[in-house]
């Protein structure tokens, strides 16, 4: 997606060989006009796939997921990150380890917001090792739904997430794909859109 790629090249900051800082338009300050355009792009790709809910993982996936859900006319569900197993009510949980942040949490979905036969589009900001997206897919399947696609804003193609998700049979749509990062330098490769 040219608009996002151009913005990454203009405002993204490569902090190291693994971390791209996008605080000024995705992770801290949020450019809602850009998020709205992103929502339109994901919706145009998935509009005929019978999506019933858009799932995302708190917190930075919420803005693009909201605009995608709005465009598709379906609810958005925010998967929660809980620090421990808190089994209040009927919930599905799976443990996630973030290699980038060195954190560990229980990704949590209330059984109220997934039904057998649900067709889910998962949206998230970054794809690194695919831990969060794989966890989201697992929760969907625990609830009897299926994952129709996984939409990513920025894929770090030098990490294993995309391969992991595709090997598991999921369709991955990345709006920007980073081939290489080095301090102060971002190299993109061809995106899916």
| Of 112, 157, 159, 120, nearest in space to 137 by CA | 120
| Residue closer to ligand G4P (CB basis): 52 or 61 | 61
Q: How many of the other CB atoms lie within 10 Å of CB of 78?
A: 17
From the CB of 117, what's the least distance to ligand G4P, in Å?
A: 27
| Residue closer to ligand G4P (CB basis): 60 or 173 | 60
| Residue closer to ligand G4P (CB basis): 22 or 51 | 22
182 burial class (0-12, 13-18, 19+ CB within 10 angstroms)?
exposed
What span, in angstroms and rounded, lies between the C-alpha atoms of 14 and 111? 39
| Residue closer to ligand G4P (CB basis): 25 or 92 | 25
What 3-state class would DSSP assign to 96?
strand
From the CB of 158, what's the least distance to ligand G4P, in Å?
A: 11
| Residue closer to ligand G4P (CB basis): 71 or 131 | 131
From the CB of 30, what's the least distance to ligand G4P, in Å?
A: 11
From the CB of 173, what's the least distance to ligand G4P, in Å?
A: 15
What span, in angstroms and rounded, lies between the C-alpha atoms of 52 and 4? 26
From the CB of 177, what's the least distance to ligand G4P, in Å?
A: 13
- The strand pair at 20-21 and 13-14 is best described as antiparallel
- Interface with ligand G4P by CB under 6 A: which residues? 19-22, 27, 57, 59-61, 98-101, 125-132, 156, 161
What span, in angstroms and rounded, lies between the C-alpha atoms of 10 and 17? 18
């Amino acid at each position: 997606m040219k608009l996002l790629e151009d913005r990454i090249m203009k405002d993204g900051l490569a902090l190291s060989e693994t971390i791209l800082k996008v605080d000024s338009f995705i992770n801290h300050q949020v450019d809602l006009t850009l998020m709205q355009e992103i929502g339109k792009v994901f919706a145009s790709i998935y509009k005929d796939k019978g999506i019933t809910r858009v799932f995302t993982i708190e917190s930075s996936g919420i803005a693009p997921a909201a605009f995608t859900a709005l465009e598709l006319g379906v609810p958005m569900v925010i998967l929660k990150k809980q620090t421990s197993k808190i089994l209040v009510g009927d919930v599905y949980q799976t443990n996630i380890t973030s290699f980038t942040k060195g954190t560990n949490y229980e990704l949590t979905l209330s059984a109220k917001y997934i039904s057998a036969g649900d067709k889910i589009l998962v949206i998230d900001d970054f794809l690194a090792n695919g831990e969060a997206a794989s966890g989201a897919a697992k929760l969907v399947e625990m609830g009897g739904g299926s994952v129709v696609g996984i939409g990513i804003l920025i894929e770090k193609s030098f990490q294993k997430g995309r391969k992991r998700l595709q090997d598991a049979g999921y369709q991955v749509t990345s709006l920007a794909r980073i081939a290489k990062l080095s301090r102060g330098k971002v190299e993109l490769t061809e995106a899916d859109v």
